[in-house]
Amino acid sequence: MRSIILGLALTLSTGAIANTKLTAEGFHKRFELIRNDQGELLEIRDRTISTKFSLKPFMGQIKEDLINLRDYINAHKGEDIDAEIDAMLADLDSSDMKNSEAMMAGQTIKDSVKVIGHLDVEGLMKVIQSRDVLAQYENKLTQEMSALSLNTVANLKDSRYFYKRAVTYKVVTWALEQAKKHFSEIPLLNTVSYVIVKVEKLIRERRTFHQNMLLHYFENFSEKDLGMSKEEVDLAFSSIYESRIAWNNPFESSNAVENWSRYGLNIFYTGVRAANVKVRNMSEMGTEVKSRYNYAFLEVMENGERLVLNLFDNKHMLSGKPAVAYNYAQPNKIKQMRSMLGLAQVGISFIPVGDGIKDLVSQFISSTYEKQAQSEGALVGFFESNGNSVMIENIRAQVRNPYDQF
C-alpha cells in the first residue's frame, strides 16, 4: 500500500500533510484482527462498536432535542428564529439556494422548525410508544441483528458477506406496514415512520463511519505498521466497499465477487483522484490550502475562516461545493445545524404541505448531513492517529449517532 500512496501523493496540491507525526497506536487499540489457526486473516472487528441494540438511545436523544428546541423557540422572538434559520440555510450555500426547488425547501424547513415551538413533545412521545408498534419493531430488529456481527467492519474471505446479511430492510418494511395499521393520524404516522427508518439507518451508518476510520489508517500507514500484508489490506478494501452495495443491486454484488482482489481499491482510488482534482481547482481559484489531512479531508482558509472541507461529499444534493466538516472558530456550528435540520424532518409532519413536498424536503435535508457525517469517520481516524482527543470529542458531538460512542 505504501508505494501506491506515495505515488498518489505526488499528484496532491501543496499542503499535503506529512505522516511523520502520525501513530498507528489507535488502530491497534480499536481494531481487532481475527485470524484462524493457520494465521489467515478472516475479519477485522472494531472493539468500540456495541453488539447490543435498543430503541432507547435514539428515543431519548430525539425527545431531549425536541424539548430543547421547543423551549428555545418559545424563549425567543419569531424574527430571531427566522434570522437563525436563514443564516443556517445560507451556510449550506446561498448561491445554490436561489433556484426554485431550493427556495421552496428553505421555506418548508423554516416552517418545520418553527412548528416545534407548539408541539406537546411529552404527549407525542407517550402516544407513539403506547401502541406497541415500536416495541415490536425493536424485538424483530434485535432478532435480526443477533444473527449479524455488528462490530465486523471487514470480512476478507467472503465476497458476499455483507450482501447476504442485508436483511434489516425487511424488518423496516414490516414495521412501516404495522404503523399504517395502528396510526390513522397522519402526523403521528409520519413521526413513527421516521423513527423506524432512522434507527435502522443509524445502525448501518455506524459501520460505515468506522470503516472510514479504517480507510484513513490503510492510506497513511504501511501494512507492516498495521500488522497486515498488502494482500490482506487489498481484500479489506474490497470488503468495505462490498458492504455498501444495496440489497437490491445483485449485479454490483456479482461485480465485487468477480473482481474481489481489486474491487475496493478501484472504487477508493477513483474517489481519491476526484478529490485531488477538487484540491487543485481550489488552489487555482484562490482558496488558501493549508494541509491535506487524508484522502477525504482538507484544511483551508476561506473568507478568513479556518475550515475543514469534505472532499468526498458536497454540501447537499443541489450543491457542487464541498461540505464543511468543521469550523475551528465555531466548533459547535455543524452540530447545531445538523440538530436543527434533523428535527425539521420531524416537524415537517406537522405542517400543511403535500406528501410530495415533504418527501422532497426530507430528501434534501438528509443530503446535508447523512453521508457527510459517515465520511467523518476518516476525520476521527486522522485526529486519533495524531492523539488529538479534544477534536475527537468535537467530531463525536456533531456526528450525532446515539448508537456510536467510538
What is the per-residue pLDDT across 145-173, written as a single tens digit (0 to 9) for each?
Answer: 888 889 999 999 999 999 999 999 999 99
DSSP symbol at 16: B
pLDDT of residue 17: 43
Q: Which residue has the cell 466548533?
A: 331
- Over 90: is that where the pLDDT of 93 sits? no
C-alpha cell recorded at residue 243: 458492504
- Over 70: is that where the pLDDT of 53 sits? yes
Q: Which of 201, 232, 203 is nearest to 217 (CA)?
A: 232
Spatial contact of 27 and 385, defined as CB atoms under 8 Å apart: yes
pLDDT of residue 157: 97
pLDDT of residue 143: 92
pLDDT of residue 147: 81
How big is the chain by its Cα radius of gyration, in Å? 22
- How far is Cα 250 from Cα 399, in angstroms, rounded to an integer? 31
pLDDT of residue 9: 41
H helices present in 75-185, as ranges: 78-93, 100-115, 121-130, 133-146, 161-164, 168-182
Mean pLDDT value of segment 372-394: 97
Q: How far is CA 379 from the centre of its chain?
A: 12
pLDDT of residue 5: 42
With residues binned 3-state (H G I as helix, E B as strand, rest as coil), the percentages for the chain, rounded to 5, are: 65, 10, 25
C-alpha cell recorded at residue 326: 468543521
Classify each residue of 139-150 as buried b or exposed e, where b means 16 or more C-beta atoms within 10 Å of its C-beta.
ebbeebbeebeb
C-alpha cell recorded at residue 110: 423554516
Q: Which of 367, 366, 318 is nearest to 342 (CA)?
A: 366
C-alpha cell recorded at residue 195: 423513527
Amino acid at 225: D
